[in-house]
Structure 1
Amino acid sequence: MRRALAISLAVTDLLFLAYWSTSLLALAGVVHVSPDAMYAGYDQPRVIAWNWSFLPLDLAFSVSGLLAVRAARRGSPIWRPLALISLAFTVAAGGMAIGYWTLLGEFNPSWFLPNLALVVWPMAFLPGLIRETASPPA
C-alpha cells in the first residue's frame, strides 16, 4: 500500500470514529457541542435521523479502511479489496451528503467541503487500486 493511501485512510477513518464518538457522547449528554459547529437543522427530528442513517456506512468504511492499513502492514494481500470497499463507501457517504446539501441549497463550507473531499480524495487511488486488484498476481 502506498504511504499516501495508508495515511489518507487512517486519517479519514479515525476522524470519522471521533465524529461518531462525539455524536454519541453529545446524544448521551456527556459532552456539549456548540450549535455554531453543527449543520443546518441539527435539532430537527428528520435531520437527526438523516445524520444517524450514515452511521452504518461510515462505520463500514472506517473499519474496512483501518483493516486495510493493518493488513498492508502485515503484508496480507487482503488489503486491496478492503481498501476498495473503504474507498467506495467513502465516496458513497460523501456523495450522499453532497446530494442532500445540494438539494436543500445549503452550501455551508464547514459541512459541504469536507463531504466534497470524501468524494474527491479516493478518486486519486481508486483507478490504480482497481487495476491492481483486477490483475492476476505475477
Structure 2
Amino acid sequence: MSRRLALLLAVTDVVMILYWSLAGLLQIGLVDVPRDWMYAHYDHPEVVAWNWSFLPLDLAFSVLGLAAVAASARGDGRWRPLALLSLSLTSVAGLMAISYWAILGAYDPAWFLPNLVLFAWPLAFMPRLVAEMGARALSDLTASVRSDQKGSNSKS
C-alpha cells in the first residue's frame, strides 16, 4: 500500500469515527455544538434519521480502511480487498450525501465539500487497486494450472 493511500485511509477513517463520537455525545446531550456549525435542518427528526442512517455505512468503511492499513503494515496481501471495499463504501457515502444536499438545493460548502471529497478521493485509487488484484488473481491462477499440470505429468 502506498504511503499516500495509507495516510488518506487512516485520516478519513479516524475523522469519521471522531465525527460519529461527537454526534453521539451531541445526541445524548453531553456536548453542545454552535448552531452555525451544523448542517441544514439538523434538528428536524427526518434529517436526524437521515444522518444516523449513515452510521453503519460510515463505520463499515472506517473499520475496513483501518484494517486494510494494519494488514498492509503486516505485509498481509489481504489489505487490497479490504482497501477496495473501504474505498467503495467511502465513495458511496460521499455520493449519497452529495445527492441529498443537491436534491434539497442546499450547497453549504461546509457540508457539501467534505462529502464531495469523500466521494472523489477514493476514485483516484480504485482503478490501480482493481488492476493489481486482477493481475494477482491471474498470476495465482496460472501458478495453480502449472502445478496441476506438473502433478498430472508426474503421475503418467
TM-score range, shorter chain: over 0.9
Shift of 1:93: 0.2
Structure 1: runs of 5+ lacking an equivalent: none
1:9 aligns with 2:9: yes
Match of 1:123 in 2: 123
Q: Output one character per residue of 1:48-100: Cα deviation in whole Å (capped at 9) or x when no partner.
A: 00000000000000000000000000000110000000000000000000000
Q: List runs of 5+ in structure 2 lacking aligned partners.
A: 140-156
Runs of 4 or more consecutive aligned structure 1 residues displaced over 6 Å after TM superposition: none
Alpha-carbon distance, 1:10 to partner = 0.2
Paired AA for residue 53 in structure 1: S
* Cα distance in 2 between the residues matched to 1:20 and 1:136: 36
Alpha-carbon separation, structure 1, partners of 2:130 and 2:98: 24
Q: Deviation of residue 136 (structure 1)? A: 2.5
Which has the larger Rg? 2
Trace 1:18-33 onto structure 2 (pairs within 5 A): 18-33=18-33
Listed as ranges, the matches of 1:1-138 within 5 Å are 1-136=1-136
CA positional deviation for 1:33: 1.1
When normalised by structure 2's length, the TM-score is 0.87
Alpha-carbon distance in 2 for matches of 1:47, 1:112: 15
Q: Which amino acid aligns with 2:53?
A: S
Residue identity matched to 1:128: R
Amino acid across the alignment from 1:107 = Y
Find the counterpart in structure 1 of residue 151 from structure 2. Answer: none
Q: What amino acid sits opposite 1:47 in the alignment?
A: V
Structure 1 position 12, deviation (Å): 0.2
- Aligned-residue identity in percent: 57
Q: CA deviation at 1:31?
A: 0.8
